[in-house]
Structure 1
Amino acid sequence: MSDDPYRDTEAGTDEVTLGRIETEVALLMRFGEATRRATGTAEHRVLDRAAYVILRHLDAAGPQNVSALAARLNLDGSTVTRQVSALQRDGLITRTPDPSDGRGTVISPTTTGLQRMAAVRAARTRLYGDMLGDWPGEDRETLAVLLRRLNEALESRNRTR
């Protein structure tokens, strides 16, 4: 018999495992943010987190209107509008008339925005390369696959709410 009373049933085992996942995700978010703030290189600081996420999405998906961007990032439209205004003020995005709706605009990254995003991305990639350098390649690949699945599950859940 196990010393852990929750491991005596399948449901109990699942509850313990889900509790461990919750703890690890909470720690991941906390340590990830602490690592970003504590990293000494300027490359990590050329964009705030919101700007980085918006620019990464625009780079991957192409020009978007604020509504589509807000829906994709699961944010309120007014929040995205404020973030986009700051990005435009900093010369990181441009607004052009929406070809499908003359009343609206679409947001596109500027060359400067893409360069800054690429610098942050490269710095983060190097950081993870250093941290995970002694992990076998297969473990790194497994982590990438599982994190993607977790993000897809989170995104799917947020879309249905």
Structure 2
Amino acid sequence: MTRADSLAELEREVGVLIRRVKRVIGERARSVHESLQPSSYLLLTHLAEQGPSRSSVFVDAFAIDKGAISRQVQHLVDLGLVERTPDPADGRAMLISVTADGLDRLQSVAHERRRLLDERLGGWTEADLETLVSSLARYNRDLEDDRVPA
């Protein structure tokens, strides 16, 4: 196989992965809460990983406008998954944080997700998994520059 063939195959496989990820994100969102939108699920998981943040952090992290972030945050507040509290560093600003219920739901979904993943990849050795993780991390680092298509 030539390098050009390998790059074309990589594009196809990444396309399959993207379609699968989009489907799985929708399933995970519904597992956390039947009314949770997939885009809000991504914001919720980011918030759970990063800790309390201002909405402006999400604008930068997700490259979407303030209005869309505001609507997603409100959606999460309405579902009881996040809460707003005054920022101790600047009382005019608000911090968004995951509620205890939101964290419990995310952890439950993550536990089940990893159990299913372990089941589906049962034939993979530890070395196989480490190689995949290492290769994906390198791929993501090398494509960090947004000018390069995923």
Please indicate, yes or no, whether the TM-score normalized by the shorter chain is above 0.5.
Answer: yes
Match of 1:136 among 125, 132, 143: 125
Quote the Cα distance in structure 2 between the aligned partners of 1:57 and 1:31.
Answer: 19
The superposition leaves residues 74-130 of structure 1 with CA deviations (integer Å, 9 ceiling, x where unpaired) of 333222211111000011001011223332211000001101111121121112111
Quote the offset at 1:21 in angstroms. Answer: 1.2
Residue matched to 1:76:
65
Structure showing greater Rg: 1
List runs of 5+ in structure 2 lacking aligned partners.
none
**Root-mean-square deviation over aligned CA pairs:** 2.7
Residue matched to 1:30:
19
Given the two structures, how large is their TM-score scaled by the length of structure 2? 0.80
List runs of 5+ in structure 1 lacking aligned partners.
8-12
Residue matched to 1:10:
none
Matched residue count: 146
Identify if the C-alpha distance between structure 1 residues 149 and 133 changes in structure 2 by more than 3 Å, giving closer, same or farther.
same
Quote the offset at 1:54 in angstroms. Answer: 2.1
The superposition leaves residues 31-76 of structure 1 with CA deviations (integer Å, 9 ceiling, x where unpaired) of 334456679xx74665543333222222221110011122123333
Given the two structures, how large is their TM-score scaled by the length of structure 1? 0.75
Q: Does the CA-based 8 Å contact 2:25-2:38 persist in structure 1? A: no
Quote the Cα distance in structure 2 between the aligned partners of 1:48 and 1:121.
Answer: 17
Quote the Cα distance in structure 2 between the aligned partners of 1:122 and 1:84.
Answer: 24
Identify if the C-alpha distance between structure 1 residues 37 and 61 changes in structure 2 by more than 3 Å, giving closer, same or farther.
closer
**Percent identical across equivalent pairs?**
35
Identify if the C-alpha distance between structure 1 residues 145 and 87 changes in structure 2 by more than 3 Å, giving closer, same or farther.
same
